[in-house]
Amino acid sequence: MSELCPVYAPFFGAMGCTSAIVFTCIGASYGTAKSGVGISAMSVLRPDLMMKCVVPVIMAGIIAIYGLVVSVLISGDINMQMPLYQGFVQLGAGLSVGLAGLAAGFAIGIVGDAGVRGTAQQPRLFVGMILILIFAEVLGLLRPYCCPYHELQGIQRQP
């Protein structure tokens, strides 16, 4: 181990990997639960719209997949001898993806709950709900492609 590659450097990469999957799964589960409550309440009034209004639950589940993809990318590049900056970049990438997924899951849950309840009363609100859900999903979708981990791939490693 050298001064540039300390023994604790992989810890930060592992924490980035962990935070990517944990925070996105928390956001996805919150979005699923909150939207599911709205779907249950809506289906009492309009059971014919139940399958149509399951879209927020599907979109919330996709948020967790973004975290899984980034977590696998980060874990594939963790090794015993890695520079400290690489561990910090992996931590930053995992945190940015995880927290963006958490925020997107919260947004999808709140919009999905109110949207499906509103759709039960006024079916023309469905398109507006879908558009807002798409914008909330983009919060989680674009973060994995903008995270600093991809910039690390272009940096030359020093021996």
Which domains are seen in the chain, by residue range?
16-150 (1.20.120.610)
pLDDT of residue 158 exceeding 60, the answer is: no
Q: pLDDT value at position 4?
A: 75
Tokens 């798409």, residue located: 134
- Quote the pTM value: 0.85
Three-state DSSP at 7 gives coil
Backbone torsions φ then ψ of 77, nearest 5 degrees: -110, 5
Looking at residue 6, its pLDDT comes to 85
Residues 88 and 102: beta-carbon distance below 8 Å: no
Interval 38-50: pLDDT, tens: 999 999 989 998 8
The larger pLDDT score, comparing residue 151 to residue 121, is at 121
Token pair recorded at residue 123:
């079916």
Nearest to 95 by CA among 13, 7, 151: 13
Tally of CB atoms within 10 A around 79: 11
pLDDT in tens, 9-36: 899 999 999 999 999 999 999 999 999 9
Alpha-carbon gap, residue 120 to 98, rounded angstroms:
33
